[in-house]
Amino acid sequence: MDSLIKDIVNSVTGTEVTVDEQQVQSLFHQIAPNLAILCVRIIVAIILWFVGKKLIRWLNNVVDKALVHYHANDTMRAIVGGTIKTIGYALILLYIARIFQLPLTPLFTILGSIAIGVALALKDYLANLAGGVILICLTPFRFGDYIIDEHGHEGTVTRVGMLYTILMTLDGKTIFVPNSLLTKDCVTNVTKEGKRRIELKIGISYDSNLKRAKQIMEEVIEKENHLKDPPIQVFVGELEEDSIIVQAFFWTTVDDYWPVLRDIKEKVKDAYDKEGISIPLPQVDVRFFNQMN
């Protein structure tokens, strides 16, 4: 062994080198056990990494199949899958660090300080992220629902993302609503029950036949796509200065809501015109008095 080391050193340096055999043996006896332990630790760490990776993949597949079975959406599946991978790989790295006997306390201190700084800098984004998780877990609305929030944002839900919920308005605009607003404030889900109530208000003149006007309005509504239960309600809503407000409540499906709402006023107006029921315009009576000197 000593002669081999001498030959290697001499061939590299080109000079004659004298090696103390006792020092070499002492050094070798000191390094050999530690080197063997290091090799064993490296092998164990490699095995742990690949086995842990396969376990994470297996667990992720099992949980994903369960989520699909319970009809979870793609965003929910992505969040759960990412969480499983993050926690799994963090545990693997923690065990590998323990195998190599690395000091973890300073590492946790540094990571904790970094986490606090990042949390303070990104608190709004983290609030939106937490809101996205809440919306996905509680599902107060789903894809295709029409919602209205307290800030006046309304539209059809096209996506519930990690930070924003995307709405499509009736005029084709796309609205990105922060998830924190939707979890903090009141949100109205218009389409959750599958039906909507239409409120119809039309004013007629005081000299028109009120009974006939109510009858005509009910007949027109009967011909539209509406739900039989609850029944149609036609009544006098208000008595204005220049008109009587004939009002109606009736229910229709979510899909028929907008088509019926667009057509019903025109059809009632045409029916009133045929029956001679007038819809008055706002007017002011002006009277002139002759003042005697």
**Which are the contacts of 199, defined by CB distance < 8 A and separation ≥ 6?**
247, 248, 249
Q: By percentage, how much of the chain surpasses pLDDT 70?
A: 84
CATH-assigned architecture of domain 195-275: 2-Layer Sandwich (3.30)
Are the C-beta atoms of residues 218 and 267 closer than 8 Å to each other?
no
Q: State pTM to two decimals.
A: 0.57
Task: Report which residue type is found at 155.
Answer: G
Q: Regarding predicted confidence, which is higher, 78 or 15?
A: 78
**Which are the contacts of 72, defined by CB distance < 8 A and separation ≥ 6?**
80
pLDDT of residue 32: 59
**156-168: per-residue pLDDT in tens?**
999 888 788 999 9
216 pLDDT above the threshold of 60: yes
Where are the domains positioned within the chain?
19-102, 141-189, 195-275
pLDDT of residue 241: 84
Confirm or reject CATH 2.30.30.60 for domain 141-189, answering yes or no. Answer: yes
Helices (H), the chain: 2-13, 21-69, 74-99, 105-121, 123-138, 179-184, 210-222, 254-275
Task: Indicate the range of 33-47, 146-160, 172-186, 212-226 predicted with least confidence.
Answer: 33-47
Among the ranges 24-28, 226-230, 281-285, which has the highest mean pLDDT value? 226-230
Please, which pLDDT band fits residue 211 given cuts at 50, 70 and 90? very high
**245-285: per-residue pLDDT in tens?**
999 999 999 888 888 988 899 999 999 999 899 888 776 66
Are the C-beta atoms of residues 174 and 160 closer than 8 Å to each other?
no
Position of tokens 């693997």? Answer: 92
Please, which pLDDT band fits residue 22 given cuts at 50, 70 and 90? low
Mean pLDDT of 34-63: 88
Position of tokens 């003042």? Answer: 291
DSSP 169-194: -TTS-EEEEEHHHHHHS-EEESSTTS
Mean pLDDT of 183-200: 89
Mean pLDDT of 214-234: 90
21 pLDDT above the threshold of 80: no
